Amino acid sequence: MKNILAAVILCLTAWSVVPAFAEIPAEPLVTVNINNASAAEIAETLNGIGLAKAEAIVAYREENGGFESVDQLTVVKGIGPATIDKNRERIALQ
């Protein structure tokens, strides 16, 4: 009987804790427009992009015009598909 009562109390305790974790608000996703942001803004917002790569993005944009797709970033030296994939939701074109 004590074991059943302990199991019931344990279950009720676990169920009361779950909603507390579920209600933690997620951090808002910050985006950056790679067609008009500064190198500092790009470097600050995108994961795996430091100031040097961000400056390369801006230089490419100034020489060739704006990016038409997120995947076009692969033409910038040092930026590959993996970097784009982990930042895809953070990159805006408009």
pLDDT digits (tens, 9 = 90+) for 14-71: 555 555 555 566 677 889 999 999 999 999 999 999 999 999 999 999 999 999 999 9
The reported pTM is 0.71
Tell me the sheet residues that pair with 91. Answer: 32
State the total domains in the chain: 1
Q: Judge whether 15 lies within some domain.
A: no
Task: Please state, in angstroms and rounded to a whole number, the distance separating the CA atoms of residues 43 and 52.
Answer: 8
Residue 74 tokens, joined: 């692969």
Give domain status of residue 55, yes or no: yes
In a domain, 83, yes or no: yes
Residue 21 within a domain: no
Q: Residue 71: inside a domain, yes or no? A: yes
CATH number for the domain harbouring residue 48:
1.10.150.320
Q: Which DSSP string do the residues of 59-92 spell out, in sequence order?
A: HHHHHH---SSGGGGGGSTT--HHHHHHHGGGEE
Q: Has residue 87 been placed in a domain?
A: yes
Residue 67 belongs to domain spanning:
32-92
Residue 47 in any domain: the answer is yes
> For residue 5, what are its two tokens?
């009562």
